[in-house]
């Protein structure tokens, strides 16, 4: 009697399970469809940003300024706002000479693989009265290395005060002009052109621009840099 009842109970449980199972499967399929619909389809992978590398001295490193105040930082901010596909890396070092830049350029090119290289060096060579043939050779090496790595170059020149003598100052200016012409690279003759005439635009050392005029320097470089980004 008990065994017959137990067998009947098991049959009833089996029938219930068989009835419930299709319903559970339907619910699982419906939930899977809802989950797939709620999950956004993966979008296209963003292209990596193209890099502008700035190799400069204290004038580009922002000597005596907060990190965000220099003309290079201001140019980076404008890039983020107007050219988001580009980024700017400032590898400038205060006190850098052309020899230092020439020694570092290979590593920076390999590390960053920039599409554009801005070379703003030579002022410290001139202020120390270094042999211009060596300075020229160093800048030539930097331009060749950059071009060889597939990067466009913007060469930024400097002027020396007249107390260095006419022969040296003329040779210094001609160094940049000749290199730009020989390599057919973009050229900005004098970084400080918009501010050089007013002593108030410089810090106490009379060499490094104050924060208030860094925007003018950025705006001076920008038209020479912009065509290289197309």
pLDDT of 41 above 60: no
| Predicted confidence band of residue 37 (pLDDT cuts 50, 70, 90) | very low
Question: Residue 29 belongs to what domain range?
Answer: 1-41
**Is there a single domain that holds both residue 68 and residue 111?**
yes
**Is there a single domain that holds both residue 90 and residue 186?**
yes
**Is there a single domain that holds both residue 134 and residue 83?**
yes
The widest CA-to-CA distance across the chain, in whole angstroms, is: 125
**Is there a single domain that holds both residue 58 and residue 35?**
no
**Is there a single domain that holds both residue 83 and residue 182?**
yes
187 Cβ contact list (under 8 Å, min separation 6) = 154, 155, 157, 176, 177, 180, 224
When the pLDDT of each residue in the chain is averaged and rounded to a whole number, the result is: 87
Mean pLDDT along residues 210-221 = 98
**Is there a single domain that holds both residue 169 and residue 135?**
yes
Number of domains making up the chain: 2
Euclidean distance between CA atoms 10 and 154, whole angstroms:
87
| Predicted confidence band of residue 48 (pLDDT cuts 50, 70, 90) | confident
pLDDT of 33 above 90: no
Sheet of 186-188, strand order: 86-90, 50-56, 116-120, 152-156, 186-188
The question of whether 131 is a catalytic residue gets the answer no
pLDDT of 31 above 80: no
Closest to 71 measured CA to CA, from 230, 228, 208: 208
The question of whether 205 is a catalytic residue gets the answer yes
- What dihedral do alpha carbons 120, 121, 122, 128 form, nearest 10°? 130
For β-strands 50-56 and 116-120, DSSP reports them as parallel
The question of whether 220 is a catalytic residue gets the answer no
**Is there a single domain that holds both residue 6 and residue 84?**
no
| Predicted confidence band of residue 157 (pLDDT cuts 50, 70, 90) | very high
**Is there a single domain that holds both residue 31 and residue 93?**
no
**Is there a single domain that holds both residue 29 and residue 90?**
no
Is the overall model pTM greater than 0.85, yes or no? no
**Is there a single domain that holds both residue 67 and residue 143?**
yes
pLDDT of 5 above 80: no
Q: Single out the catalytic residue among 103, 196, 208, 219.
A: 208
Domain CATH for 215 = 3.40.50.1110
Cβ atoms of 161 and 192 within 8 Å: the answer is: no
* More confidently predicted of 63 and 10: 63
């Amino acid at each position: 009697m008990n065994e017959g009842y137990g067998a009947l109970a098991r049959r009833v449980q089996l029938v219930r399970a068989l009835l419930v199972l299709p319903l559970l499967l339907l619910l699982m399929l419906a939930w899977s469809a809802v989950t797939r619909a709620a999950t956004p389809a993966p979008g296209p992978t963003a292209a990596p940003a193209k890099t502008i590398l700035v190799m400069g001295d204290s004038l580009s490193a922002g000597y005596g300024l907060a990190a965000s105040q220099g003309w290079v930082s201001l140019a980076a901010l404008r890039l983020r706002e107007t050219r988001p596909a580009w980024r700017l890396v400032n590898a400038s070092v205060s006190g850098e000479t052309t020899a230092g830049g020439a020694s570092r350029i290979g590593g920076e090119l390999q590390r960053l693989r920039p599409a554009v290289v801005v070379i703003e060096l030579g002022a410290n060579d001139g202020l120390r009265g270094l042999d211009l043939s060596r300075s020229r050779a160093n800048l030539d090496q930097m331009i060749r290395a950059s071009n060889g790595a597939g990067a466009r170059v913007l060469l930024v020149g400097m002027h020396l005060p007249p107390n260095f003598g006419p022969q040296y100052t003329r040779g210094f200016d001609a160094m940049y002009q000749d290199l730009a012409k020989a390599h057919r690279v973009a050229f900005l003759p004098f970084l400080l052109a918009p501010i050089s005439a007013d002593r108030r635009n410089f810090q106490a050392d009379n060499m490094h621009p104050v924060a208030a005029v860094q925007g003018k320097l950025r705006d001076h470089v920008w038209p020479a840099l912009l065509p290289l980004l197309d």
